[in-house]
Structure 1
Amino acid sequence: MTTDWREERADEIRTLILRAEPDIAEEIKWRKPSNPGGVPTFSLDGLVCTLETYKDKIKVTFGQGASLPDPAKVFNASLTAGTRRAVDIKESDTLDADAFVDLIRAAVALNRG
């Protein structure tokens, strides 16, 4: 992760994920030379989402996002992917925290299916 605005936003996302599901587990996966810090992944009865930092955004990818209800239209990336959906958050973006928490809860419910 970084030490600029993206770190603060990533911490906000972590807080929302834990607010939604306090028992969720965070692990770092997929470490490689080009990304030595790896990718934070959040799981509870299966993968819920990943949290990646890019130069201009934070990306939260839901592995089963296409199967989740999103009435508030939080998903704004990977909308044509067969299974996954993502939320791209740029520095000036506002995230609907309650709708995001609902997505996390729906992903866990789907995992528990």
Structure 2
Amino acid sequence: MTRLVSPSVRTILEDCLGERDAIQWLPATLTMPAGEHLPYWVMHFPVFYDLLHSSTNWGPSGLPIRWVLDRAKLDGHRVFIVPELNDITIVTDDVLAALNDAGLTGIGSERARIA
């Protein structure tokens, strides 16, 4: 799985990054069924931050099963991931609002657990 985003999403996320966030952008081309080529970007998070609370439950594989963010560790972070969870990107409420206000589609959201 990869985090593939449009140029519009990239612009908003770059404008909203916290001072401690780190994203590298890898260029990609999305080829549509009719052969049209669209410029896209792959989001790569080169730094993993320990942002999980001690109440996070871990599986035998070492992956978080029921993860909880630690409010005290989130300062300076607005766009980030939980390592090993490839299907989500975590953003703050204001970043989500900026994405929604731009009328972008394909975004699903749910509240994260924070302690």
Q: TM-score, normalised by structure 1?
A: 0.31
Which entry has the higher C-alpha Rg, 1 or 2?
2
Structure number having the greater helix percentage: 1
Which structure exhibits the higher relative contact order, with contacts defined as CA atoms closer than 8 Å and separated by 6 or more residues?
A: 2
Q: TM-score, normalised by structure 2?
A: 0.31
